[in-house]
Amino acid sequence: MASGQLYIDLDAVVANWRALDAMTAGETAAVVKANGYGLGARQVARSLAEAGARQFFVATAHEGRELRETLGPGPEISVFSGHMSGDTDAIRDAGLTPLLNSADQVARHRAALPDQPYGVQLDTGMNRLGMEPEEWAALRSDLEAGPLSLVMSHLACADEPEHPQNAAQLVSFSEMTAGVTARRSLAATGGILLGPGYHFDLSRPGIGLYGGLPFAGARPTVHLTLPVIQTRDLKPGESVGYGASFVTDRPRKAATVSGGYADGLLRAMSGHAQLFAGDTPCPVLGRVSMDLITVDITHLPDIPEELDILYPAQGVDTLAEAAGTIGYEILTALGHRYERHYTGGAI
């Protein structure tokens, strides 16, 4: 076993979707962009579709086309980036619903696919994607006259429940969409947790499906174990890894495991992260390199064959904290070299 073993619990993904779905009175979609947040869009989407999800969101038309090949006809697949130049064939052939973000995209879509359903994304204060109030007001009547399926916006601070921008965006979205007959959507995972006022007709959880914050009640979905390649005894004054950034002040036993930043284990974890032998933490020594991480196993009674870096005692957000980042980045960076094992769900 030369590579890490990544275990993905599809039943946990489904359980998280059902738990979030139970919090709202409307429809619950699933965001499966970025290869299902690193877990595998094909496996995740099939499992969620079998569980009852009928609406999926992806980032690009290319992702949408690949997802349609997996799901077949039926489920609606919406594309956050809208209708970009070069997307027409994918949108038409895969039956995708672009979320139009600007007047330019409206014009492109109407010219190329006048009968193809579309959604609209509104900017309610995040200043990232979507039409601003003036642009929406100018186009609204024309857009509502066509096959408009969804009007949505995105909360910038939903993971901070007390942040005043949440309420401000809710007011803006409510005002901009008053009287709209198409479905409305404002809440992703964090928005669902903010309460019914944010739910509207459709919610679209992403990170919460995969076990990440702000859904603290989520079931863990991933377990990553790394094989030990070599162990050695360190003498006081010896260093470990590139840059000699760690120098031991006492005798230690060190283990080098197969995994590094090429596998999504970020270099910023150096000197901060821990791996685990059962429930016993083993600190990282020195820098995380491209393919290898060295850890302190001095305190273990036996030399382990493998060590865990993601498992219930250290979830994606705990590991992310050690790297100074967020759980999203840990998940979406999970490398292609891992041997993946899926349990449950509709593989």
Reported pTM: 0.95
Q: Which of 198, 242, 253, 328 is catalytic?
A: 242
What pLDDT sits at residue 251? 97
Are 150 and 185 within 8 A, CB to CB? yes
What pLDDT sits at residue 313? 86
What pLDDT sits at residue 37? 97
Helix, strand, coil percentages, rounded to 5, for the chain: 35, 25, 40
Q: In the CATH hierarchy, which top-level class contains the domain 10-210?
A: alpha beta
Q: Which of 33, 118, 210, 338 is catalytic?
A: 33
What pLDDT sits at residue 1? 54
What pLDDT sits at residue 69? 98
What pLDDT sits at residue 346? 66
What pLDDT sits at residue 161? 97
What pLDDT sits at residue 345? 72
Are 67 and 48 within 8 A, CB to CB? no
Write out the two tokens for 339: 């041997």
Domain boundaries along the sequence of the chain: 10-210, 222-343
Residue partners of 19: CB distance under 8 A and separation at least 6: 215, 217, 218
Q: From CA 1, how far away is CA 222, in angstroms rounded?
A: 19
Q: What is the CATH number of domain 222-343?
A: 2.40.37.10
- Does the annotation count 235 as an active-site position? no
- Does the annotation count 242 as an active-site position? yes
Are 272 and 322 within 8 A, CB to CB? yes
Q: From CA 297, how far away is CA 3, in angstroms rounded?
A: 20
In DSSP notation, 36-84 reads HHTT-HHHHHHHHHHHT--EEEESSHHHHHHHHHHH-SSSEEEETT-S-
Residues in the chain, pLDDT under 70:
1, 346-347
Residues recorded for the chain: 347
